[in-house]
Amino acid sequence: MVVVMSPEATEEDIARVVSRVEGVGGEAFVSRGMSRTIIGLVGDIESFHHLNLRTLGGVADVHRISDPFKLVSRQHHAQRSTVWVGQPGRQVPVGPDSFTLIAGPCAVESPEQTVEAARMAQSAGATILRGGAFKPRTSPYAFQGLGERGLEILASVREATGMPFVTEVVDSRDVELVASHADMLQIGTRHMANFGLLQAVGEAGKPVLLKRGMSATIEEWLMAAEYIAQRGLLDIVLCESGIRTFEPSTRNTLDLSSVPVVQATTHLPIIVDPSHSAGRKDLVVPLASGAIGVGADGIVVDVHPKPELALCDGPQALDGTELRDLAKAVRRLPPVLGRVSAATVTRQG
């Protein structure tokens, strides 16, 4: 940590900072410049936070130097992690060596629609099914999902297809229920900073798919992962799904730069959601190919057998031609970049 003193700071002000830092067992190195003095702090960061140095007289600014997250940091865990999803014996990977396609309907509407979407997904190369049972909707008058009935449908489709499924949990009261059915719990963009929910899924024993909040910095996103990790769970997959900007032609602006930034900073896998970020299906295949190019460990896309009848986000769901184009991209691009399809990987042991 570095404390920058204001030009008017007195010797007394400087001495006060040094004394506080030493009072909690730290060391303070004073560098006197022509117009300002800076003080480098060495020791336990957490104890420095409690000193409220920014409120002291003569202090102009305090810069943090090191990352605030620990368990998810790549600093002490250089090898990138693989997260395995599904029941023992039929687990599929999300990680640095493979490329994973997660696909399914935005919302579970019926057993028929769900199984049909799952078969479409599977034929395009998907290894994990996605589908919403609890839906966070902007309007209280919109379809809110089938709830527990939706989870049961997803479980039956898992039986039929062999695909493990990921589904969103939106309330801490539902975590136990959802975890009893699902293979992976999704934290949606609106709940990335719902810390009680993060702690609850961190204790539920299932892998977590953590979407980036639409106004979250990468650092805040990794701190959300740290909340989960701090409860004992490290099977976390991050999902970039766009940030809010001034550009109106897409729902959100997909920040593909986050993929290499995240991979340099944390050991956790990261995938990309081109469907929800764009909000329009004509962009899904190009953005999926872009995500593969940039080095993502997978993607998650919406598919629906009849998008025009979808109860949720129909305009972004793929079918027919687009799905075939997606399948082609998923099959051809990752090998050029040194990855195998996750569909070809099985866990040993």
DSSP classification of residue 232:
T
Region binding a second copy by CB under 8 A among candidate stretches 42-50, 94-102, 116-124, 178-186: 42-50
Give the rounded distance of the alpha carbon of 207 from its chain centre. 12
In the complex with a second copy, the residue whose CB is nearer, 91 or 144, is 144
- Applying CB under 8 A, among 85, 154, 236, 254 the residue interacting with a second copy is 254
- Applying CB under 8 A, among 151, 278, 318, 342 the residue interacting with a second copy is 278
Region binding a second copy by CB under 8 A among candidate stretches 80-88, 112-120, 177-185, 191-199: 191-199
Whole-angstrom distance, CA of residue 242 vs CA of residue 258: 10
Q: Taking CB under 8 A as the rule, does residue 4 contact a second copy?
A: yes
DSSP classification of residue 66:
S
Q: Taking CB under 8 A as the rule, does residue 14 contact a second copy?
A: no
- Applying CB under 8 A, among 85, 118, 292, 342 the residue interacting with a second copy is 292
Q: What's the angle, vertex CA 17, arms to CA 12 and CA 23, rounded to 5?
A: 120
In the complex with a second copy, the residue whose CB is nearer, 91 or 199, is 199
Which tokens is 110 given? Answer: 């019926």
Which tokens is 281 given? Answer: 């299906």
CB 306 → a second copy: shortest distance, Å? 9
CB 94 → a second copy: shortest distance, Å? 18
CB 349 → a second copy: shortest distance, Å? 32
Read out DSSP for 289-344?
Answer: HHHHHHT-SEEEEEB-S-GGG-SS-GGG-B-HHHHHHHHHHHHHHHHHTT-EEGGG
Region binding a second copy by CB under 8 A among candidate stretches 45-53, 89-97, 99-107, 340-348: 45-53
- Applying CB under 8 A, among 168, 289, 297, 300 the residue interacting with a second copy is 289
Q: What are the backbone angles phi and psi of residue 214, rounded to the nearest 5°?
A: -70, -10
Residue/partner pairs of 336-339 with CB below 8 Å, 24 or more apart: 337/292, 337/293, 337/295, 339/97, 339/98, 339/99
In the complex with a second copy, the residue whose CB is nearer, 103 or 288, is 288
